[in-house]
Structure 1
Amino acid sequence: MLTVSSDTLSQNANKLDKFIKLRKAGEGTYGVVYKAKDKITGKFVALKKMKLDRYENRDSEGIPSTAIREICLLKDLHHSSIVELLDIICGDQKSIYLIFEYLELDLKNYLDLSKERLPEDLIKSYVKQLFEGLAYLHSHRILHRDLKPQNILIDKEGHIKLADFGLSRCFMVPIRAYTHEVVTLWYRAPELLLGSKMYGPGVDVWSLACIMAEMITKKAIFTGDSEIDQVYKMFKICGTPNESTWPGCTSLPDYRSSFPKWEPQDLSDHIDFHTPQQKDFLLSILEYNPAKRFTAREALKTDYLKHTKLTSPELQSFEGFSQN
């Protein structure tokens, strides 16, 4: 049974009084996020109010196991590319407040607000930081399982961080069965789309590959409006997988012999790459076969990311956002 110590969950609801809520910064299935200010330090924080009555398997009293799982994961994560959990405060019986470090924008907002194409050095800087965070997660046997631009935060100095661990799970070796109904559709790995319940860190790498493609083009590469449409959008560009390109794929629960047989297209027909090296790197992580797909650590060892430096984003987008 999952438990959280009294040191971790403060019973003093008055601790909330030290924060001034400035505006709503976002809202998800299980909570609302506010930009807030610490009255004592003057620092901005992100205050996430978790609505416990929205969680499944909740007892009439106490904290549901799904909420505890997320908190337990977050409180043990300490990495420069992962948003930091600063404090946990119990509100009333229906809510818990998670206090996070504050970053100005999520990646989706930044891509929408940016007027110009993102330069390659910024993309490389972002991709390297994200893979560093992912390598840290995977080394601690944690799958994020919901990587998308909305769950990635950035600041004015060029830092980028993984956030929103509501669907994250610990994994063991050998991999055991998990639900395949995770990850937002446009960023869902092919093994998940084809119904595999035995999957590993590669699902996060595929999501990050889709995010990298979106950084280059400023639009999502696979935009299905249903699971089968997502599969077809993916197959039309990357080709319909078979036993020679992805051994074992035809045995996956949702693979159909009736799938149309598309040949893989040149990715350059869909993405205007900055350099051939950028294309080669993306192909190594946008790989159907999870066994051949680069791991986060392998991606970090490539020449493409090896000498990448921190790069600041276009500040005009931040200024436009702060005025909203």
Structure 2
Amino acid sequence: MPASKPAEKIGKMKKLRRTLSESFRSIGKNCLYFCLNCMTKICLKDNLMSTRSLQGKDVKPLDTIPEDKKVKVQRTQSGFDPFEKPAGQPTSPKFGKADSYEKLEKLGEGSYATVYKGKSKVNGKLVALKVIRLQEEEGTPFTAIREASLLKGLKHSNIVLLHDIIHTKETLTLVFEYVHTDLCQYMDRHPGGLHPDNVKLFLYQLLRGLSYIHQRYILHRDLKPQNLLISDTGELKLADFGLARAKSVPSHTYSNEVVTLWYRPPDVLLGSTDYSTCLDMWGVGCIFIEMIQGVAAFPGMKDIQDQLERIFLVLGTPSEDIWPGVHSLPHFKPDRFTVYSAKKLRQAWNKLGYVDHAEELASRFLQCFPKNRISAQAALNHEYFSHLPPRIWELQDMSTIFTVAGVKLQTESGDSIQVCARRNSQGKDSTSGSKH
């Protein structure tokens, strides 16, 4: 073999090796970039972290970064983190970090979460911290995941604002705007019924928030005064979306859920799982009457049977004629219920007769047959609200009704128009402010 042949062969092998080395280096860089992106997406999805930290930043492949800007990773002893900031370099509080918020006081505790009043170290504003305890064997509660994912996409002045999400090994913390009190506490402070003008403003805001979510095919499914927050300026905000969009309702109800029964419609009490926005509208009617009358509309004290009896006593025991399909519902047994005739609502709640169009609107909410209930959008245009300033119907989603001239809370009996903050001493489920 001529001497030139081995030399030529060795040269080709060297060239091939250089080509392969360059290819592997390129592949390695692209794989690293791909993995980092995948890990980021997985972490954002799994930990429900806010995407605001990535906004405005361009993530580029490593091979497009100039040499003088690349991070030089040194191979040193185990435990060295090349991305860790030097010890002497000061760090400022950031969103998404647990140490960015200071707990001030406990506001309430529920079955899977505790709510604290807090303060942001980022901007100094008051916040509500809903701390959800995580169980290793159970993982993150699905209700918490659902609540966070829904609220991230809802931007409306009558829906509580989710500021931040913090995930650690032990807890998931949802950081909400701080709202001073809720409708339940507000009514407790003003027994006997609220000022008629204030009822109108609270109801309008409730319908406005519901219309917004219903147009997005979202049901709240847990409307009650404890889940309606009231700010110190009178803004009402829908809160606690942990049950939103659920597809079914358990037929068996335990004693600690009896309060929620008060605002549950008869079709769901009878076992129906085929419902839509009309589910929430029944709760609106119950809350409307409670604000006007000063007492719960249907305060069942025992079980589902007792709750249904109280409803039928006022609205009449349903039949196939007035409620097509009622006999086919799982829990409807004709021999179980006393046959009552329907009454005028003012016979049960006399204060409805004192306010123009209030009784008629309440009757549109409280229809046993679900399809007969008025929608949130239609209710906003009801004659009951005809005395409000016209510009109130032209507001943008994020504009509060109190920006309209002439719209303000009236003085409740024996108190100022300011809604005072008060700690939730009853330990009810909450999710924001006093109850988020």
Q: Which residues in structure 2 correspond to 1:83-94 (within 5 Å)?
A: 83-91=160-168, 93-94=169-170
Q: Does 1:263 align with 2:341?
A: yes
CA distance in 2, matches of 1:101, 1:320: 14
Cα distance, 1:247 vs. partner? 1.5
Q: Which whole-Å CA distance do the structure 1 matches of 2:320 and 2:307 have between them?
A: 21
Task: Give 1:113 deviation, angstroms.
Answer: 1.0
Count of aligned pairs between the two proteins? 311
Aligned to 2:265: 189
Structure 1 residues 244 and 223 mapped into 2: Cα distance closer, same or farther (>3 Å)? same
Partner of 1:277: 357
Matched, 1:291 2:371: yes
Residue-by-residue CA offset, 1:93-127 (whole Å, 9 max, x unaligned): 23111000111101101100125631111111111
For the pair 1:37 / 2:119, whether they are aligned, the reply is yes
- Residue number among 196, 207, 226 corresponding to 1:120 in the alignment: 196
CA contact (8 A) 1:3 1:68 kept: no
Question: What's 1:318 paired with?
Answer: 419
Deviation for aligned residue 1:195: 0.7
The separation in 2 between residues aligned to 1:266 and 1:61, in whole angstroms, is 50
What is the distance in 1 between the residues matched to 2:261 and 2:424? 31
Alpha-carbon offset, residue 26 of structure 1? 1.6
The structure carrying a bigger helix percent of its residues is 2
CA distance in 1, matches of 2:424, 2:222: 29
Deviation sequence 1:206-226 (CA, Å, 0-9, x none)? 011101111011211101121
- Percent of pairs identical after alignment? 40
Residue 9 to residue 257, structure 1, CA distance change in 2 (3 Å):
same
Q: Tell me, what secondary structure is at the counterpart of 1:140?
A: coil
Q: Distance in 1 between matches of 2:248 and 2:423?
A: 40
Are 1:128 and 1:308, in contact at CA under 8 Å, matched by a contact in 2? no
The counterpart of 1:304, out of the listed 368, 375, 384, is 384
- Structure whose residues are more often strand by fraction: 1
Give the direction of change, closer, same or farther, for the CA distance of 1:168–1:261 in structure 2 (3 Å limit): same
Distance 1:262 1:100, change over 3 A: same
Larger Rg: 2
Q: How does 1:1-324 map to 2 (within 5 A)?
A: 4-5=44-45, 8-9=48-49, 15-53=97-135, 60=137, 63-91=140-168, 93-114=169-190, 117-169=193-245, 178-181=248-251, 184-225=260-301, 226-258=303-335, 259-271=337-349, 272-273=351-352, 274-308=354-388, 310-312=407-409, 314=412, 316=416, 318-319=419-420, 321=422
In structure 2, distance between residues paired with 1:125 and 1:75: 26
Q: For 1:203-247, what per-residue CA distance to the aligned partner results, in whole angstroms no more than 9, with x for missing partners? A: 100011101111011211101121110000111111111122212
RMSD of the TM alignment (CA)?
Answer: 2.7
C-alpha displacement of 1:69: 2.0
Q: Give the aligned residue type for 1:286.
A: L
Choose between structure 1 and 2 for higher RCO, CA contacts under 8 A separated by at least 6 residues.
Answer: 2
SS at match of 1:143: coil
SS of residue in 1 equivalent to 2:164: strand
How far, CA to CA, are the matches of 1:14 and 1:138 in structure 2? Answer: 30
- Unaligned 5+ runs, structure 2: 1-41, 54-93, 390-406, 426-436
Whole-Å separation in 1 of the counterparts to 2:347 and 2:192 = 20
Q: Which moved more, 1:185-194 or 1:14-23?
A: 14-23
TM score, norm. by length of structure 1: 0.87
Structure 1 regions of 5+ residues with no counterpart?
54-58, 171-176
Deviation at 1:320, TM superposition (A): 7.3
Tell me the SS of whatever aligns to 1:48. strand
